[in-house]
A and B are shown apart, each in its own frame.
Chain A
């Protein structure tokens, strides 16, 4: 039997949407036709059409006076009419839909492909939330990173002088970076719990930064906030006349409170503990084998890119500058440059493994990479941490170890590729550049290799 679908929507979404839906439902029932109608009214989307519905459908009736996303119906026969037409003549519309040509085999193949993709995506509700946060974060990383990089154009120390343009550029970029983790956490929570999740998510992200937990802490904060908001919604039952205060008062208040306290007591404690332990550990390593130290520092730079592990490694190396030990600083900077650079190369040679958005962010990552702004790789790491972070660590560890082997030394704690042109800032410049290049290639190849084995790709392999 032919199955029909419909979507109804009107400008205010209060009455016509539902009348049209009812008219179609009723007419279909009278005709004995299988029909499902999605309503997009003020209440939100109800009776939503699933991928499966769409795949099985003979044709789709769009009775809408507003814009609706038609992309999901690509490859299907679609009739577009106004809401009024569905109310006035539902029978005619249904007849018209039934007469539409069935989708061609080509379209069907398309559909199957789509379906597989969707399957992989659906299975990963977790990744959907993550990706939502990441996609809101990307512009901040790009804008902030590029502005900071731009401030280096005026000279490496230019940004340190208050009131200069370079200083302001650096500040603006810094603010964008400061918003990065809150936005990531906020929109992960928003994806999970809708509007009431945003406030606890933003606050949790801010606190993740404050307790030094970096973007990984932000991801935890986002999920905590989102699920806590949902939990509050489920558990707290108010009398009907007070229900209105749930989304504006009760959920944000309780979920923000709980997320915040958890960030301080459960996340913050261990984070400072880890930082302390790592610091002690690194101190004990000072006399040890230089290559192992480089390997270690390099790997640490890529673990959380701006989080506690990265900061400890950076602070350790920068601290040694005062004792006129310059090798570790060189290793740390090389290792901090390879994550975004490697990602950039990966997006260039393996476009298919990345979304359009990521490909664009990859271009910006190149500039951030050469500027030693490791954060450029965060969107990619956050979107797929278990696969991307190990690749980044391996590449950074390689760069760090090579830098030590080549006996490279760096006298300033920042600057990226620009310091290579400053006389005496770096020793063994060419070998140092080689270390960075090799680390970059290792990162890129591993990212591509791991990404290939992403669950989405595997799901597609299995069903093929």
Chain B
């Protein structure tokens, strides 16, 4: 499985406007609903918000990675948004976020390859040069290429 299999081109939103954490999650959920990754947006969103309640997924460095494991998800999916205006995410370092990765995991999952991909992505996010690439990508192809690199 490749990263591009779960981060589809349609899942990438560059420089969108959103005024709140929930608005960003809504936008990204919509993209995955559109590609059939998410079957039941409401159930999925509830799972994501519940995870946020347990502790913010704003990991600092202006990045947040909200995620939800829910029966409302058909297949593993990943969506990305780069925000034109930073949004407060109650991040670990207190700073607002600019990059948001929304992760969707089905309740019943066979195999764990997508988890490996996500864990690799999470590791990469800890490196500054990698985060820099996210900010400079000018279209979705470039962004996906950067993530896979």
Interface residues of A (CB under 8 A from B): 11-12, 14-19, 21-23, 26, 39, 41-44, 65, 82, 84, 87-88, 240, 243-248
A50 to B92, CA, bound (A): 31
* Residues on A with beta carbons closer than 8 Å to the beta carbon of B115: 14, 41-43
Encode B77-110 as 1/0 by CB contact (under 8 A) with A: 0000000000000001100000000010100001
Given the contacts A15-B57, A88-B60, A245 and B110 also touching, CB distance less than 8 Å: yes
* Residues on B with beta carbons closer than 8 Å to the beta carbon of A247: 110-111
Determine how close the nearest CB of chain A comes to the CB of B135; give it in whole angstroms.
18
A245 to B109, CA, bound (A): 11
Is B111 a contact partner of A244 (Cβ separation < 8 A)? yes
Q: Say which size band chain B's interface belongs to.
A: 20 to 34
Is B111 a contact partner of A243 (Cβ separation < 8 A)? yes
Determine how close the nearest CB of chain B comes to the CB of A431; give it in whole angstroms.
65
A12: which of B59, B67, B113, B126 is its contact (CB, 8 Å)? Answer: B67
- Beyond the given A22-B123, A82-B55, A84-B92, please list 15 additional residue pairs across the A-B interface where CB-CB is below 8 A: A14-B115, A14-B118, A14-B122, A15-B103, A15-B122, A16-B57, A16-B59, A17-B122, A18-B118, A22-B122, A23-B126, A41-B115, A42-B105, A43-B116, A65-B54
* Residues on A with beta carbons closer than 8 Å to the beta carbon of B55: 11, 65, 82, 84
A460 to B122, CA, bound (A): 44
The chain B residue with its CB closest to the CB of A41 is B119
Determine how close the nearest CB of chain B comes to the CB of A244; give it in whole angstroms.
3
Residue among B93, B116, B119, B123 with most chain A CB within 10 A? B119
Encode B46-57 as 1/0 by CB contact (under 8 A) with A: 000001001101
B65 within 8 A of A: yes
A244 to B112, CA, bound (A): 9
Determine how close the nearest CB of chain A comes to the CB of B129; give it in whole angstroms.
12
Q: Could you show 22 A-B contacts with beta carbons less than 8 Å apart?
A: A12-B105, A14-B69, A14-B105, A15-B122, A16-B57, A19-B123, A22-B123, A22-B125, A26-B126, A26-B127, A42-B105, A43-B112, A43-B115, A43-B116, A44-B112, A65-B55, A84-B59, A88-B92, A243-B110, A244-B111, A247-B110, A248-B110
Determine how close the nearest CB of chain B comes to the CB of A90; give it in whole angstroms.
9
The chain B residue with its CB closest to the CB of A241 is B1
Is B103 a contact partner of A14 (Cβ separation < 8 A)? yes
Is B111 a contact partner of A19 (Cβ separation < 8 A)? no
Interface secondary structure of A, over-half rule: helix
The chain A residue with its CB closest to the CB of B69 is A12
Residue among B55, B121, B126 with most chain A CB within 10 A? B126
Residue among A15, A65, A247 with most chain B CB within 10 A? A15
A247 to B54, CA, bound (A): 32
A44 to B119, CA, bound (A): 11
Is A19 a contact partner of B112 (Cβ separation < 8 A)? no
* Residues on B with beta carbons closer than 8 Å to the beta carbon of A84: 55, 59, 92
Given the contacts A243-B113, A248-B110, A12 and B122 also touching, CB distance less than 8 Å: no
8 residue pairs, one from A and one from B, having the closest CB atoms: A244-B110, A22-B123, A18-B122, A22-B126, A18-B119, A15-B122, A244-B111, A43-B115
Is A14 a contact partner of B111 (Cβ separation < 8 A)? no
* Residues on B with beta carbons closer than 8 Å to the beta carbon of A12: 51, 67, 69, 105
Is B122 a contact partner of A19 (Cβ separation < 8 A)? yes
A17 to B59, CA, bound (A): 11
Is A15 a contact partner of B118 (Cβ separation < 8 A)? yes
A41 to B118, CA, bound (A): 11
Determine how close the nearest CB of chain A comes to the CB of B120; give it in whole angstroms.
8
Given the contacts A12-B51, A14-B67, A43-B116, A19 and B126 also touching, CB distance less than 8 Å: yes
A266 to B118, CA, bound (A): 46
Given the contacts A11-B54, A21-B123, A240-B1, A42 and B112 also touching, CB distance less than 8 Å: yes
Given the contacts A11-B54, A14-B103, A88 and B116 also touching, CB distance less than 8 Å: no
* Residues on B with beta carbons closer than 8 Å to the beta carbon of A246: 111
A40 to B111, CA, bound (A): 17
The chain A residue with its CB closest to the CB of B67 is A14
A167 to B116, CA, bound (A): 55
A248 to B108, CA, bound (A): 12
Determine how close the nearest CB of chain B comes to the CB of A236; give it in whole angstroms.
14
Is A14 a contact partner of B59 (Cβ separation < 8 A)? no
Determine how close the nearest CB of chain B comes to the CB of A29; give it in whole angstroms.
11
Is A16 a contact partner of B122 (Cβ separation < 8 A)? yes
Is B93 a contact partner of A43 (Cβ separation < 8 A)? no
The chain A residue with its CB closest to the CB of B65 is A15
The chain A residue with its CB closest to the CB of B126 is A22
Determine how close the nearest CB of chain A comes to the CB of B46; give it in whole angstroms.
14
A88 to B95, CA, bound (A): 12
